[in-house]
Amino acid sequence: MAPSAISPTTQDYKLSIEDLKSVDHSLGATLNNGPGLSISKQLIAQALKTRVDSIDPDTCDLGDDDAFFVADLGEVYRQHMRWKKNLARVKPHYAVKCNPDPRVIHLMKQLGMGFDCASMNEIETVLGMGVDPSRIIYAQPVKTKAYMRYAARSGVKQMTFDNLDELYKVKQLTPDAELYLRILTDDSASLCQLSNKFGASTNDTGDLLELARKLDLNVVGVAFHVGSGASDPQAFLKAVQDARFVFDQAEALGFTMHTLDVGGGFTGDASFEAMAAVLSDALDAYFPPHVRIIGEPGRYYVATAFTIACSVIGRRTVNDATLGTTSYMLYMNDGVYGNFSCIPFDHQKPTPRVLKCAADPINFLYDTHTSGYDTPSMTEYSIWGPTCDGIDKIPDTHCFAQVMNIGDWLYFEDMGAYTKCSATPFNGFPSAHDTIYVCSEPGAASLLEL
């Protein structure tokens, strides 16, 4: 079966903004970051307060005072609307590794998204949610043979490669796969660089394509990844230019190329619009409309949707006789071996805020900010996790107006990316924690039938 004779079989799955308007009449406000955000704060506050007010650390059952998440699925929905507005041509395939939360995946399924999976377990999770295998890309350039056999049995055909040996594995195990040649990119401006592990140089792509042709394999597209948490929009421009070069190489060899995978790297901060504009312009300049474009966003969708609350389990007073100051070491019930794994693995710096302080007259302090006219004395804290390891620490020192004590609570926002997915049970502490779900967007609630 010659590669040039194979027609595209990948479904063009999507849910347009017009489709979404039919279930969410507040869509205009959502796209402009309107009332949904303030509603989100109210719902998160209510969920946090209800949970922490129900806990007495002196009498609660085992596990009741563990750290827990509050996830606003409406925030995931708002990020999708933002994506559709700024990258309408790019069909998102959520990077499951970032946060495999089942309700997040279910919402994304309902939104018509695809999924980027890197292992058998991730594929199995997504298929178990009822997602059609044609909506999955096995975006792992170097795959375990047993996992490849599972993908083939499950009908998952889209997958990436970047080396000669992988092509022989594909020929042996999944000869009818729809292959994407992953190319090397400049990811020097990203939080987590991937080019030191994956990606073929344009000096090598010709040899890879020639072997794929010789093995009668079906290369249908090119993939790249500018690194997780990218910050340089020009990295996308150069990657798109290189992808065009490889497309032309492949087509000259008789391959029918129909898809470009622009990978991940997207952040949900204010830089997204500028990044999206550069990418959109590059795509329009180098790839005609008939070429299908997909992406693999992860943190972009979920980072800001999750808030974690942690209780203070210990306190140590530190007196400096020379300066005449008193500071404290706070020990909380989660740390870098748990959900704060984002610190060593994802280079994040989570910011602690006071959630509940028994000594404060207000007591419950979520989203409470001191007036600029008030200048309360501040107390300095270092914050530590529960394990015996000295590296189990939240970076830097932090100052609060309150004097915190055992049984009080802290919270951290923007904890949805590379947190609970990489938590460990080190020292016997729990690696799984409860998640309370809220939904600040009527469209998301409708899709989820809440």
Pair (186, 281) in one structural domain: yes
Co-location of 139 and 288 in the same domain: yes
Nearest by Cα to 389 from 434, 344, 328: 344
Q: What is the pLDDT of residues 170-185, one digit of tens each?
A: 999 999 999 999 998 8
Choose the catalytic residue: 388, 399, 421, 439.
388
Query: In DSSP terms, which residues pair with 356 in a beta bridge?
Result: 364, 409
pLDDT of residue 8: 43
Residue 403, SS3 per DSSP: coil
Within 13 Å of residue 450, how many CA atoms lie on the same side as its CB? 18
79: helix, strand or coil: helix
> Is the C-alpha dihedral spanning 442, 443, 446, 448 positive or negative?
negative
pLDDT at 172: 97
Give pLDDT tens digits for 334-354. Answer: 999 999 999 998 889 999 999
Confidence band for 7, pLDDT divided at 50, 70 and 90: very low
Look-up of token digits 């989820």: 448
| Alpha-carbon torsion (315, 320, 321, 323), positive or negative | negative
| Residue 152 belongs to domain spanning | 100-297
In a domain, 3, yes or no: no
Look at residue 23 and tell me if it is in a domain.
no
> Does residue 230 register a pLDDT over 70?
no
**Res 186 pLDDT > 70:** no
State residue 232's pLDDT score. Answer: 74
Within this chain, do residues 325 and 431 fall inside the same structural domain, yes or no?
A: yes
Alpha carbons 159 and 180: distance in angstroms, whole number: 6
Q: Are 318 and 285 within one domain?
A: no
Split into its structural domains, the chain has a count of 2
Among the ranges given (187-201, 259-273, 297-311, 394-408), the one the predictor scored with the smallest mean pLDDT: 187-201
| CATH classification at residue 182 | 3.20.20.10
Q: How confident is the model at residue 27 (pLDDT cuts 50, 70, 90)?
A: very low
Q: Are residues 210 and 286 in the same domain?
A: yes
The mean pLDDT value for 200-221 works out to 96
Residues 6 or more apart whose Cβ sits within 8 Å of residue 218: 3, 6, 176, 177, 178, 179, 255
Distances (CA, A) of 249 to 188, 220, 252, 254: 26, 12, 5, 9
Residues 265 and 160 in one domain: yes
Q: Is the pTM of this model over 0.85?
A: yes
pLDDT above 50 (res 5): no
Q: What is the longest distance spanned by two Cα atoms in the chain?
A: 82
Q: Average pLDDT of 53-72?
A: 94
Q: Which residues contact 30 (CB under 8 A, 6 or more apart)?
A: 24, 36, 77, 78, 81, 441, 443
CATH number of the structural domain spanning residue 321:
2.40.37.10
- Specify the pLDDT at position 30: 45
User: pLDDT over 90 for what percent of the chain?
Assistant: 76
- pLDDT tens string 281-293: 999 999 999 999 9
Q: Which residue blocks in 135-233 are alpha helix, DSSP H? A: 145-154, 164-173, 205-214
Q: Are residues 287 and 417 in the same domain?
A: no
pLDDT of residue 287: 98
> Is the domain of 142 the same as that of 230?
yes
Residue 400 in any domain: the answer is: yes
pLDDT in tens, 79-131: 999 999 999 999 999 999 999 999 999 999 999 999 999 999 999 999 999 99
State mean pLDDT over 314-335: 92
Q: Which of 66-70, 153-157, 367-371, 438-442 has the lowest mean pLDDT?
A: 367-371
Task: Please identify, among 242, 276, 297, the residue that sits at the C-terminal boundary of a domain.
Answer: 297
Please indicate, yes or no, if residue 347 is contained in any of the structural domains: yes
Q: Identify whether residues 278 and 220 lie together within a single domain.
A: yes
**Residue that wins the pLDDT comparison between 57 and 246:** 246
Residues 287 and 310 in one domain: no
What confidence tier does 253 reach under pLDDT thresholds 50, 70, 90?
very high
Say if residue 135's pLDDT is above 50: yes
Has residue 1 been placed in a domain?
A: no
- Give the per-residue pLDDT at 9: 47
Are residue 194 and residue 283 in the same domain, yes or no?
yes
Query: Is there a single domain that holds both residue 293 and residue 145?
Result: yes
Instruction: Provide the pLDDT for residue 22.
Output: 47
Torsion of CA 402, 405, 408, 411, to 10 degrees: 60
* Residue 403 domain flag: yes
Last residue of a domain, one of 253, 273, 297: 297
As a whole number of angstroms, the distance between CA 411 and CA 357 comes to 12
* Residue 31 pLDDT: 43
| pLDDT of the residue at 164 | 97
Task: Give yes or no for a contact between 49 and 366, defined as CB atoms under 8 angstroms apart.
Answer: yes
Answer with the one of 297, 330, 364 that is the final residue of a domain: 297
Say whether 388 is catalytic: yes
